[in-house]
Amino acid sequence: MNEHVSPDLIVEPGGADTKPATVKGGVHTPTNHDSAHKHVTGRAIYADDMALPEGALHAYLGLSTVASGTITSVDLSAVRAAPGVVGVLTARDMPASNDISPTHLHDEPVLADGEIHFHGQPVFAVIATSRDAARRAATKANISYAEAPFARTVDEAREQGLGLVTKPLTLERGNAQAGLAAAPRRIKGRYTIGGQDHLYLEGHIAVAIPGEDDDMTVTSSTQHPSEVQHMVAHVLGVPSAAVTVNVRRMGGGFGGKETQSNQFAAIAAVAARKFGVAVKIRPDRDDDMITTGKRHDFVVDYDVGFDETGRIEAVDATFAARCGFSADLSGPVTDRALFHADNTYYYPHVRLQSEPLKTNTVSNTAFRGFGGPQGLVVAERIIEEIAYALGEDPLTIRKRNFYGPKDDPEGRNITPYHQTVTDNIIERIVAELEQSSDYHARRDAILAFNARSPIIRKGIALTPVKFGISFTATWYNQAGALVHVYRDGSVHLNHGGTEMGQGLNTKVAQVVAETFQIDIDRVKITATTTDKVPNTSATAASSGSDLNGMAADNAANQIKDRLIDFAAEHYQVSREQVVFEPNVVRVGNQRIPFPDLVDQAYLKRIHLSAAGFYKTPDIHWDRDKGTGRPFYYFAYGAAVSEVSIDTLTGEYHVDRTDLLHDVGKSLNPAIDTGQVEGAFIQGLGWLTTEELWWDDKGRLRTHAPSTYKIPLASDRPAIFNTELVAWSVNQERTIRRSKAVGEPPFMLAASVVEALSMAVASVANYSVCPRLDTPCTPERILMAVERLKSDAA
361-378 per-position pLDDT tens digit = 999 999 999 999 999 999
Contact by Cβ (8 Å): 758, 750: no
Q: Could you tell me where the DSSP H helices lie in 497-538?
A: 504-516
Whether 410 is a known active-site residue: answer no
CA distance 681 to 677: 6
Strand, coil or helix: what is 470?
A: coil
pLDDT of 345 > 60? The answer is yes
**Residues with Cβ within 8 Å of residue 453, at least 6 apart in sequence:** none
Contact by Cβ (8 Å): 633, 739: yes
Please give the average per-residue pLDDT across 301-315, as a whole number.
98
Contact by Cβ (8 Å): 257, 200: yes
CA distance 680 to 662: 14
Helix (H) or strand (E) holding 112: none
Kindly list the distances between the CA atom of residue 6 and the CA atoms of 10, 20, 37, 564, 571, in Å, as whole numbers in the listed order. 7, 18, 38, 20, 14
Please give the average per-residue pLDDT across 62-91, as a whole number.
98
CA distance 775 to 684: 9
pLDDT of 328 > 90? The answer is yes
CA distance 543 to 631: 11
Share the mean pLDDT of the chain.
Answer: 96
CA distance 630 to 541: 12
Residue 661 phi/psi, 5-degree rounding, is -130, 145
Identity of the residue numbered 429:
I
pLDDT band at 243 (very low <50, low <70, confident <90, very high): very high
- The reported pLDDT for the residue numbered 793 is 72
Q: What is the pLDDT of residues 736-788, one digit of tens each?
A: 999 999 999 999 999 999 999 999 999 999 999 999 999 999 999 999 999 99
CA distance 541 to 471: 6
Kindly list the distances between the CA atom of residue 352 and the CA atoms of 302, 349, 641, in Å, as whole numbers in the listed order. 9, 10, 29
Q: For 371-410, list the strands marked E by DSSP.
A: none
Q: What is the pLDDT of residues 296-306, one digit of tens each?
A: 999 999 999 99
The candidate with the shortest Cα–Cα distance to 632, out of 428, 471, 504, is: 471
CA distance 489 to 750: 48
Contact by Cβ (8 Å): 234, 349: no
Q: Report long-range pairs for 625-631 (Cβ below 8 Å, ≥24 apart).
A: 626/169, 626/170, 626/171, 626/172, 626/417, 626/418, 627/417, 627/418, 628/417, 628/418, 628/419, 629/419, 630/339, 630/417, 630/419, 630/468, 630/470, 630/472, 630/474, 631/339, 631/419, 631/468, 631/469, 631/470
Kindly list the distances between the CA atom of residue 550 and the CA atoms of 247, 424, 480, in Å, as whole numbers in the listed order. 21, 24, 9
CA distance 548 to 569: 32
- The reported pLDDT for the residue numbered 403 is 98
Contact by Cβ (8 Å): 659, 765: no
Task: State the catalytic residue, choosing from 227, 313, 677, 743.
Answer: 743
Q: What is the pLDDT of residues 644-658, one digit of tens each?
A: 999 999 999 999 999
pLDDT of 1 > 80? The answer is no
Contact by Cβ (8 Å): 545, 508: yes
Neighbours of 629 (CB within 10 A): 18
Q: What is the pLDDT of residues 161-197, one digit of tens each?
A: 999 999 999 999 999 999 999 999 999 999 999 999 9
Q: Could you tell me where the DSSP H helices lie in 61-220?
A: 77-81, 131-138, 154-160, 176-182
pLDDT band at 21 (very low <50, low <70, confident <90, very high): low
Contact by Cβ (8 Å): 539, 581: no
Angle subtended at Cα 255 by Cα 205 and Cα 338, rounded to the nearest 5 degrees:
155
Contact by Cβ (8 Å): 636, 660: no
CA distance from start to end of the chain = 96
Q: What is the pLDDT of residues 507-564, one digit of tens each?
A: 999 999 999 999 999 999 999 999 999 999 999 999 999 999 999 999 999 999 999 9
DSSP characters for 90-110? -GGG-SS--B--SSTT---BS
- The reported pLDDT for the residue numbered 9 is 41
CA distance 143 to 91: 15
CA distance 405 to 415: 13
Q: What is the pLDDT of residues 408-433, one digit of tens each?
A: 999 999 999 999 999 999 999 999 99
**Residues with Cβ within 8 Å of residue 444, at least 6 apart in sequence:** none
pLDDT of 88 > 80? The answer is yes
Could you tell me what percent of the chain has a pLDDT over 90? Answer: 96
Q: For 179-225, list the strands marked E by DSSP.
A: 185-193, 206-210, 216-220
Chain centroid offset of residue 565 CA:
41
Any idea how long the chain is? 793
- The reported pLDDT for the residue numbered 416 is 98
Contact by Cβ (8 Å): 191, 374: no
- The reported pLDDT for the residue numbered 709 is 97
DSSP characters for 580-631? EETTEEEETTEEEEHHHHHHHHHHTT---EEEEEEE--S-EEETTTTEEE--
CA distance 727 to 71: 62
The candidate with the shortest Cα–Cα distance to 124, out of 104, 136, 138, 114, is: 138
Helix (H) or strand (E) holding 783: helix 778-792
- The reported pLDDT for the residue numbered 324 is 98
CA distance 262 to 204: 10
pLDDT of 260 > 60? The answer is yes
Kindly list the distances between the CA atom of residue 144 and the CA atoms of 72, 79, 82, 113, 139, in Å, as whole numbers in the listed order. 5, 15, 20, 13, 14
- The reported pLDDT for the residue numbered 5 is 40
- The reported pLDDT for the residue numbered 15 is 37
- The reported pLDDT for the residue numbered 12 is 37
- The reported pLDDT for the residue numbered 22 is 82
Identity of the residue numbered 546:
D
Neighbours of 20 (CB within 10 A): 12
Strand, coil or helix: what is 380?
A: helix
pLDDT band at 2 (very low <50, low <70, confident <90, very high): very low
Contact by Cβ (8 Å): 546, 665: no
Chain centroid offset of residue 56 CA:
34
Contact by Cβ (8 Å): 224, 539: yes
Cβ-count burial 542-567 (b if 16+ within 10 Å, e if not) = bbbbbbbbbbbbbbbbbbbebbbebb
**DSSP category for residue 715:** G
